[in-house]
Structure 1
Amino acid sequence: MKQEFTVGIWQEGNWYVAQCLEIDLASQGRTESEALANIQEAIELFLEPPTPEIKPYPDLFLENIGRICRLEFSHGNHAGDKTHENR
């Protein structure tokens, strides 16, 4: 699916700043084209769907934790249901 976004670009000192107005992302570059390329990459990364990963926790890290919590969020909500898991 193709999407179009509006990007404002301006110069601040020696840098060009590019800001996507619809999703409030910004990037910069030493040239206008570099700033545009950087904001395009930032938008692509922002829109990339998350991929679930389960990473093993190092034992030393777990030894210092008193409790582990998992927070669940629904799109558009600031805080969703909370599920707590005790170690």
Structure 2
Amino acid sequence: MKKIITSEIYHDGEYYCAKCMDFDVFTQGKTIDETVKNLKEALTLHFEDDSDAADIYDPVPYLFGMMDLGEIHV
């Protein structure tokens, strides 16, 4: 069974940024969709140079999100 690639996507000013937790891969985009597309492309290029990693990891297309809700008054 292949391992799942873990990435973090966060909003920083005008752009969404994505960094891969498993590899030295970083990208950005103006929307979340563009950022995810750019991340997939960056990982594809990374795997072209590292075929051993391509055999171990599987880029499963799902998104896990967390967001800062600020203060919550109860």
The TM-score range, normalised by the shorter chain, is: 0.5 to 0.7
Alignment of 1:23-62 (within 5 A): 23-49=23-49
In structure 2, distance between residues paired with 1:6 and 1:40: 12
Higher radius of gyration, 1 or 2:
1
In structure 1, distance between residues paired with 2:32 and 2:15: 8
CA shift, 1:4, in A, is: 2.5
What do you get for the CA RMSD once the two structures are aligned? Answer: 2.0
Gapped runs of 5+ residues in structure 1? Answer: 51-87
Gapped runs of 5+ residues in structure 2? Answer: 51-74
In structure 2, distance between residues paired with 1:9 and 1:43: 14
Aligned partner of 1:18 in structure 2 is 18
In structure 2, distance between residues paired with 1:12 and 1:6: 19
State the identity as a percent.
35
CA shift, 1:25, in A, is: 0.8
CA shift, 1:42, in A, is: 0.3
CA shift, 1:3, in A, is: 5.4
Tell me the amino acid that sits aligned with residue 33 of structure 2. Answer: S
In structure 2, distance between residues paired with 1:5 and 1:43: 10
Q: Which runs of 4+ in 1 moved over 3 A?
A: none
Task: Give yes or no for the alignment of 1:4 onto 2:30.
Answer: no
Tell me the amino acid that sits aligned with residue 27 of structure 2. Answer: S
The count of residues paired between Structure 1 and Structure 2 equals: 50
TM-score normalised according to structure 1 size: 0.51
Q: Larger relative CO (CA 8 A, sep 6+): 1 or 2?
A: 2
